[in-house]
């Protein structure tokens, strides 16, 4: 399943960047966005749920939709793909996970260097001052209000039309430009700027690989494309590059 040249590139790499998307959490029972039958965007309209305008139009609907997704994430456990990435970081000199996922499962699996490009669904911030809020008064108001500025609370995730957190994006760009190996795992590679990181990595000389059961538009441009679920391919890659010692 894993090309031997990819295994060698992983063994030789000083800095590995792994961009992950919803597919990495699919085996933890968190739905992806664009899979035809099961993806969230097959059932829900992102323009009604995942934009600042949608929130202002119908804050209750958006708050409750994210509360539902938060409960899915709260029940989820890291899968062998998340665990293999955390283990891989103990073998290579430097490994940075750049994730579009908001579920926090990379941290839960033990990955330490994680850049969350699209925020984290477990965090809440206030609309007006963008302050992260840990607790608030439970009243009948949905969404609840910020205890300090009284503006509505919202999930601390990036919605369509919003900029990514600048410091996080800067660090992701820097990591991509400096890595030797860039792995794109479980993402449809349709949402920018995340989908552009691989081109930056390539321009600065990195080898690139995709892991996805369904090849994306970027697959042909990669040095390797592994057509397998990440929960199988990542443990196989780890075992091939760094076999367990008896
Ligand atoms: P998508 O839903 O667009 O793509 C998920 C990808 O995962 C697809 O290419 C699947 O083929 C692949 N996949 C499915 N099961 C897999 C598995 N077991 N192992 C590996 N890959 C698998 O999700 P993203 O690319 O993450 O943003 O979407 C990017 C952004 O668009 C999200 O962060 C979200 C979404 O709208 C916002 O909400 C702002």
Centre of ligand 1 from the C-alpha of residue 163, in Å: 19
100 and 191 in contact (C-beta within 8 Å)?
A: yes
Q: What is the mean pLDDT of residues 98-122?
A: 98
> Where in the sequence numbering do the catalytic residues fall?
118
- Considering the chain, what percentage of its residues have pLDDT values greater than 90? 96
Other Cβ atoms less than 10 A from the Cβ of 213: the count is 15
Cβ of residue 50 lying under 6 Å from some atom of ligand 1: yes
Taking CA atoms only, the protein residue closest to ligand 1 atom 9 is 188
Q: What is the largest CA-CA distance in the chain?
A: 60
Which amino acid residue places its CA nearest to atom 37 of ligand 1? 159
Q: Does ligand 1 lie within 6 Å of residue 26's CB atom?
A: yes
- For ligand 1, atom 6: residue with the closest CA: 187
Tell me the per-residue pLDDT of 199-243, one tens digit each, with 9 for 90 and over: 999 999 999 999 999 999 999 999 999 999 999 999 999 999 999
The Cα–Cα gap between 223 and 231 comes to: 21
Residue nearest to atom 36 of ligand 1 (CA): 33
pLDDT tens-digit series, residues 47-56 = 999 999 999 9
Ligand 1 pocket, residue 155 CB under 6 Å: no
Whether ligand 1 lies within 6 angstroms of the CB of 103 is answered as no
CA distance 110 to 45: 33
The mean pLDDT of 173-177, rounded to a whole number, is 98
Which has more pLDDT, 37 or 22? 22
Tokens 């597919």 locate to 23
Dihedrals phi, psi of 59, to nearest 5 degrees = -60, -35
Half-sphere exposure for 213 (CA within 13 Å, toward CB): 10
Tell me, in angstroms, the distance from the centre of ligand 1 to residue 23's CA: 5
> Token pair of 57, please?
């139009």
214 pocket-lining for ligand 1 (C-beta < 6 Å)? yes
Cβ neighbours of residue 79 under 8 Å, at least 6 residues apart? 24, 25, 27, 28, 105, 231
SS3 state of residue 17: strand
Whole-prediction pTM value? 0.97
Identify the pLDDT of residue 110: 98
Beta strand pairing call for 119-126 and 153-157: antiparallel
Give, in order, the Cα–Cα distances in Å from 244 to each of 14, 111, 112, 233: 20, 19, 22, 16
pLDDT, mean over the chain: 97
């Amino acid at each position: 399943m894993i090309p031997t040249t990819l295994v060698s590139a992983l063994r030789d790499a000083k800095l590995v960047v792994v961009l992950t998307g919803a597919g990495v959490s699919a085996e933890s029972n968190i739905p992806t966005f664009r899979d035809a039958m099961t993806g969230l965007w097959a059932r829900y309209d992102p323009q009604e749920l995942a934009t600042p305008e949608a929130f202002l139009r119908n804050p209750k609907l958006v708050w409750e939709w994210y509360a539902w997704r938060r409960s899915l994430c709260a029940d989820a456990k890291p899968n062998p793909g998340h665990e293999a990435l955390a283990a891989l970081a103990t073998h290579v000199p430097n490994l940075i996970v750049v994730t579009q996922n908001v579920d926090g499962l990379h941290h839960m699996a033990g990955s330490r260097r994680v850049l969350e490009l699209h925020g984290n669904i477990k965090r809440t911030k206030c609309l007006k001052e963008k302050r992260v809020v840990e607790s608030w008064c439970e009243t009948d108001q949905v969404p609840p209000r910020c205890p300090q500025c009284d503006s509505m609370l919202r999930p601390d995730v990036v919605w369509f039309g919003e900029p990514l957190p600048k410091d996080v994006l800067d660090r992701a760009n820097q990591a991509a430009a400096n890595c030797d190996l860039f792995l794109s795992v479980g993402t449809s590679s349709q949402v920018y700027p995340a989908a552009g990181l691989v081109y930056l990595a390539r321009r600065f000389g990195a080898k690139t690989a995709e892991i996805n059961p369904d090849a994306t538009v970027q697959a042909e441009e990669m040095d390797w494309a592994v057509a397998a679920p990440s929960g199988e391919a990542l443990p196989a890659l780890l075992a091939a590059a760094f076999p367990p010692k008896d």
